Amino acid sequence: MDLAVRGFRRLLEPVAALVAPRPLYASGNRMALDLGTGGETDVFSRFMWALPSDVSINFDVGPDLGAVSPGTLVNTLYARLGVTFSRTNPLGLCAGTGVYANDHGPGGFGSGQNNVTVCPEGIASDFSEAQFGAIQATFALPAVQACVNATPIGAGAQAYLEAFSVTGASLGRTESTTDRVSQRLCVSASETSYVRFAGKEEGFAIFDNFFVARLLPDIIE
């Protein structure tokens, strides 16, 4: 290629840069930079990893699809899915800050199915708000719906699920019946920052299969 042609092409490069297609980035969903379990999640338009709009957690399987062993701490296990778990009363029975996967179900130990509870493996997984406090599920992005399976234990016992805004205002609450069978509890409210669930007052209940749905806004480039 002679020097005249190469010089002409160089003159055209700034013009080509203006009219050439721009690189494509994902749109329609808000993306997040994932720094791993327990790490910091931040909004980022050129994403490495995206938060899903719907998350289902059954506490038998981790976010990597590996089996969750009974007794595993789940406080931050699902953080990369945008959900973390904590407790409202670390000084209650089964004192501490841990939230656990526990396979002591209605049928006793070794049920083959993990529940989520404030008590470690070796202790029954049913708990009441009055004696143990509630489990709180906090969301990295606002939710529009959250659900959990609840099984009341004992005569007259009920379970509840309540949604809260970022300021702590209650956005809605649902309660189970006193039937001692698994029941799906759901609350729907926009801008839900976190939810809490437990056996109502003195009543005991077992919880499993948590679900959260969120509407992801467009990314900001």
| Residues 173-216: tens digit of each pLDDT | 999 999 999 999 999 999 999 999 999 999 999 999 999 999 76
Specify the amino acid at residue 65: L
Tokens 């379970």, residue located: 159
With cut-offs at 50, 70 and 90, classify the pLDDT of residue 96.
very high
Please state, rounded to an integer, the average pLDDT across all residues of the chain. Answer: 82
DSSP string, 94-144: S-SS--EEE--BTTBS--SS-EEESS-TTS-S-BBHHHH--EEEEEEEEEE
Query: Measured between alpha carbons, how far is 142 from 137 in angstroms, rounded to an integer?
Result: 12
Q: What is the pLDDT of residue 46?
A: 36
| DSSP symbol at 45 | S
Mention the CATH class of domain 52-213: mainly beta
* Structure tokens, 102: 């526990």
Q: What is the pLDDT of residue 146?
A: 98
Closest residue by Cα to residue 50 from 66, 34, 65: 34
Query: Measured between alpha carbons, how far is 200 from 134 in angstroms, rounded to an integer?
Result: 9
Residue length of the chain: 221
User: Per residue in 19-70, pLDDT tens?
Assistant: 344 333 333 333 333 333 334 444 433 333 467 789 999 999 999 999 999 9
Q: Is 108 left (phi over 0), alpha (psi -120 to 50) or beta?
A: left
Side-chain half-sphere of 197: how many Cα atoms within 13 Å? 33
- Judged by DSSP in three states, 163 sits in strand
Domain boundaries, the chain: 52-213
Query: Measured between alpha carbons, how far is 100 from 176 in angstroms, rounded to an integer?
Result: 22
Query: Measured between alpha carbons, how far is 185 from 150 in angstroms, rounded to an integer?
Result: 7
